[in-house]
Amino acid sequence: MSVAVPQDPQLLEVNPPLVPGHPDYHDVTEQISTIVEGDVRTTPMKYWITLACTSSIVVLLGGMLTYLALTGIGVWGNNRPVGWAWDITNFVFWIGIGHAGTLISAILFLFRQKWRTSINRSAEAMTLFAVMCAAIFPVFHTGRPWRAYWLFPVPNTDLGMWQNFRSPLIWDVFAVNTYLTVSILFWFTGLVPDLATLRDRAVGKVRQYIFAALSMGWRGSARHWRHYEAAYLILAGISTPLVLSVHSVVSFDFATSVIPGWHTTIFPPYFVAGAIFSGFACVMTLLLIARWTLNLQDLITMKHLENMNKIILATGTIVGYAYAMEFFIAWYSGNMYERFTFWNRAFGPYWWAAWSMYTCNVFIPQLYWFKKLRTNLWVMFIISITTNIGMWFERFVIIATSLTRDFLPTSWGYFHPTYVDICTFIGTVGLFLTLFLLFARFLPMIAISEVKGVVAVEKGSFPKERQEVH
Amino acid sequence: MPAPLDLEQIKDKLGIGADKVYAVMGEFSEPSELVEAGKKIRAMGYTKIDAMSPFPVHGIDDAIGIRRSRLGWIVVCFSLTGTATAIFLQWYTGATPLTSLVKYGLSGYPLVIGGKPLFDFSFSIPVAFELTVLFTAFATFLGMWALNGLPRLYHPSMNYKNAHRASDDRFLLMVEADDPLFEPKKTADHLRSVGAQEVEVVEG
Amino acid sequence: MSLVSIKTAAPTGPKYWRSLDELAKTPQFREFVEQEFPAHADEMLEGNSRRTVLKLMAASFGLAGLAACRRPVEHIYPTAKGWDNYVPGEKLTYATAVSLAGQVTGLLVETHDGRPTKIEGNPDHPFSQGAATALVQASLLNLYDPDRSKSVLEAGKETSWSAFEATVKSLSLGDGSGLRFLSETVASPSLFALRADVLKKFPKAKWVEYEAFQRNAGRAGAMIAFNEAVSPQTDFSKAKVIVALDSDFLGQDWQTPLPTKQFSSRRHMDSEEDFDKINRLYSVESQFSITGANADHRLRLRGSEIKQFAADLAAALGALPGLNVLNNGTDRRSKFLAAIVKDLKAAGKDSLVITSPRQPAIVHALAFLINQSLGSTAMEFAKSGTQERVEAGVDALKALVGEMNAGQVSTLVMLGGNPVYTAPADLAFASALAKVAASLHLGPDEDETAASAKWHVPEAHYLESWGDAVTSTGVATIQQPMIDPIFGGRTAAEILALVSGSPTTKAHDIVKNYWMSTFPGSHPGETKSVASGKDAVKEITANPAEQAWRKSVHDGIVSGTKPQETAKVTADAKRIAAAWATEPKAAEGGIEVAFVPSASVFDGRFANNGWMQEAPDPINKVVWGNAALISPATAKAKNLSDGDVVTLTRGGLKMEVSVLTQPGQADNAITIALGYGRERCGRAGKDVGFNANLLRSSDAFWYAPNVEIATTGKTYTHVTTQERGLADGMNNRPLYREVDIAEYKKNPKAIEEQSEVPPLHSIYTELNYDKGYQWGMAIDLGSCTGCNACVVACVAENNTPVVGKDQVARGREMHWIRMDRYYVGSEDEPRAVEQPLPCMQCENAPCENVCPVAATTHTPEGLNDMVYNRCVGTRYCANNCPFKVRHFNFLNFHKGDSDILSMVHNPDVTVRMRGVMEKCTYCVQRIQETRIAAKADGRREIKDGEIKTACQQTCPADAIVFGNINDPQSKVSKLKKQERNYAMLAELDIRPRTTYLARLRNPNPELEA
For A171-197, the pLDDT digits (tens) are: 999 999 999 999 999 999 999 999 999
C754 and chain A: CB distance < 8 Å anywhere? Answer: no
Average pLDDT over residues C967-976: 95
Average pLDDT over residues A128-154: 93
What are B85-122's pLDDT values in tens digits? 999 999 999 999 999 998 898 999 999 999 899 999 99
CA gap C588, C584 in Å, rounded: 12
* Residue of B111, B114, B122 with shortest CB distance to C763: B122
Average pLDDT over residues C974-987: 94
Res. B147: pLDDT tops 80: yes
Chain C residues whose CB is inside 8 A of the A168 CB are: 850
Chain C residues whose CB is inside 8 A of the A149 CB are: none
pLDDT for C727: 52
Q: Of A451-455, B100-104, C217-221, C411-415, give the lowest mean pLDDT range.
A: A451-455
Q: Which residue of chain C has the CA closest to B109?
A: C854
Interface of A with C in 61-100 (CB under 8 A): 71-74, 77-84
Q: Buried (b) or exposed (e) across C921-949, using 16+ Cβ within 10 A?
A: bbbbbbbeebeeebeeeeeeebebeebbb
pLDDT for C61: 44
pLDDT for C921: 95
Give the list of residues 6+ apart from residue A357 with CB closer than 8 angstroms, or none.
A390, A391, A393, A394, A397
Q: Do A170 and C807 touch (CB under 8 A)?
A: no
Q: Do A80 and C915 touch (CB under 8 A)?
A: no
Res. C992: pLDDT tops 70: yes
pLDDT for A292: 80
Chain A residues whose CB is inside 8 A of the B107 CB are: 160
CA gap C282, C91 in Å, rounded: 44
Question: Cβ of A237: how many Cβ atoms within 10 Å?
Answer: 17
Average pLDDT over residues A374-400: 93
* Residue of B112, B117, B122 with shortest CB distance to C858: B112
Closest approach of chain A CAs to the CA of B31, in angstroms?
6
CA gap C5, C1005 in Å, rounded: 50
* Residue of B50, B90, B168 with shortest CB distance to A200: B168
**Higher-pLDDT residue of C773, C562:** C773
Q: At what angle do helices A120-140 and A168-201 cross, to 10 degrees?
A: 140
Question: Cβ of C370: how many Cβ atoms within 10 Å?
Answer: 26
pLDDT for C43: 42
Chain C residues whose CB is inside 8 A of the A336 CB are: 732-733
pLDDT for B63: 84
What are A408-419's pLDDT values in tens digits? 999 999 999 999
Residues C634 and C661: beta-carbon distance below 8 Å: no
What are C209-242's pLDDT values in tens digits? 999 998 888 889 999 999 988 889 999 999 999 9
Average pLDDT over residues C645-651: 94
What residue type is assigned to position C382 of the chain?
Answer: A
C757 and chain A: CB distance < 8 Å anywhere? Answer: no
What sign for the dihedral angle of Cα B85, B88, B91, B94? negative
pLDDT for B19: 54
Share of chain A above pLDDT 90, in %: 57
Average pLDDT over residues C73-80: 54
Res. C4: pLDDT tops 70: no
Give the list of residues 6+ apart from residue C291 with CB closer than 8 angstroms, or none.
C244, C247, C248, C249, C250, C251, C281, C283, C285
Residues C612 and C356: beta-carbon distance below 8 Å: no
Res. B165: pLDDT tops 90: no
Average pLDDT over residues C464-468: 94
pLDDT for B199: 85
Res. C42: pLDDT tops 80: no
Average pLDDT over residues B71-86: 94
Q: Do B134 and A175 touch (CB under 8 A)?
A: no
Res. C720: pLDDT tops 50: yes
Chain B residues whose CB is inside 8 A of the A463 CB are: 31-32, 35-36, 59
pLDDT for A290: 78
Q: Which of C7, C808, C816, C872 to mutate to test the interface with A (most CBs of A within 10 A)?
A: C872
Mean pLDDT computed over every residue of chain B: 86
Please compute Rg for chain B using Cα positions: 27
* Residue of C849, C860, C991 with shortest CB distance to B113: C849
**φ and ψ at residue C618, rounded to 5 degrees:** -55, -30
* Residue of C765, C848, C860 with shortest CB distance to B113: C848
What's chain B's length in residues? 204
Q: Do C845 and B111 touch (CB under 8 A)?
A: no
Q: pLDDT tier at C98 (50, 70, 90 boundaries)?
A: very high
Residues A68 and A76: beta-carbon distance below 8 Å: yes
pLDDT for C346: 93
CA gap C828, C843 in Å, rounded: 41
* Residue of C735, C812, C916 with shortest CB distance to A79: C812
What residue type is assigned to position B3 of the chain?
Answer: A
Res. A289: pLDDT tops 80: yes
Res. C38: pLDDT tops 60: no
Q: Which residue of chain A has the CA closest to B149?
A: A224
Q: What's the Cα-to-Cα distance from A348 to each of A255, A405, C609, C739, C772, rounded to whole Å?
A: 22, 10, 38, 31, 48
What is the DSSP code (8-state) at residue C340?
Answer: H
Closest CA to A274 of A86, A90, A85, A95: A95
**pTM (two decimals):** 0.88
* Residue of C762, C765, C854 with shortest CB distance to B113: C854
CA gap B197, B2 in Å, rounded: 9
Q: pLDDT tier at C522 (50, 70, 90 boundaries)?
A: low
CA C107 to chain centre: 13
Q: What's the Cα-to-Cα distance from C549 to each of B88, C518, C525, C528, C559, rounded to whole Å?
A: 71, 10, 14, 14, 8
Q: Do C891 and A409 touch (CB under 8 A)?
A: no
What sign for the dihedral angle of Cα C533, C536, C541, C547? negative
Closest approach of chain B CAs to the CA of C752, in angstroms?
25
Res. B180: pLDDT tops 90: no
How close are the terminal C-alpha atoms of chain B, in Å?
26
Res. C532: pLDDT tops 60: no
Residues C974 and C270: beta-carbon distance below 8 Å: yes
pLDDT for B127: 96
Res. C1: pLDDT tops 70: no
Q: Do B113 and C858 touch (CB under 8 A)?
A: yes
Residue A458's H or E segment, with its range, is helix A448-458
Res. C1004: pLDDT tops 90: yes
CA gap C373, C345 in Å, rounded: 10
Q: Which residue of chain B has the CA closest to A239?
A: B133
Across the beta sheet with C280-285, what order do the strands follow? C297-300, C280-285, C241-245, C351-355
Burial class (CB in 10 A: 0-12, 13-18, 19+), C154: middle
Q: Do B114 and C854 touch (CB under 8 A)?
A: no
Chain A residues whose CB is inside 8 A of the B143 CB are: 231
Residues A133 and A425: beta-carbon distance below 8 Å: no
Q: Which partners does chain C have (≥3 C-beta pairs < 8 Å)?
A: A, B
Q: pLDDT tier at B64 (50, 70, 90 boundaries)?
A: confident
Mean pLDDT computed over every residue of chain C: 87
**Higher-pLDDT residue of C536, C442:** C442
Q: pLDDT tier at C73 (50, 70, 90 boundaries)?
A: low
Share of chain C above pLDDT 90, in %: 69
pLDDT for C87: 75
Q: pLDDT tier at B12 (50, 70, 90 boundaries)?
A: low
Average pLDDT over residues B149-165: 84
Chain B residues whose CB is inside 8 A of the A189 CB are: 141, 144
Average pLDDT over residues A97-110: 81
Closest CA to C894 of C811, C793, C805, C800: C800
Q: Do B115 and C857 touch (CB under 8 A)?
A: no
pLDDT for A18: 58
Res. C434: pLDDT tops 70: yes
Q: pLDDT tier at C980 (50, 70, 90 boundaries)?
A: very high
pLDDT for C540: 59
CA gap C600, C688 in Å, rounded: 12
Q: Which partners does chain A have (≥3 C-beta pairs < 8 Å)?
A: B, C
Give the list of residues 6+ apart from residue C38 with CB closer than 8 angstroms, or none.
none
Q: Do B113 and C857 touch (CB under 8 A)?
A: yes
Angle at A232 between CA A227 and CA A237, to 5 degrees: 125
What is the DSSP code (8-state) at residue A362?
Answer: I
Mean pLDDT computed over every residue of chain A: 87
Q: Do A410 and C871 touch (CB under 8 A)?
A: no
Beta strands per DSSP E along chain B: 21-28, 49-52, 171-176, 197-203
pLDDT for A58: 96
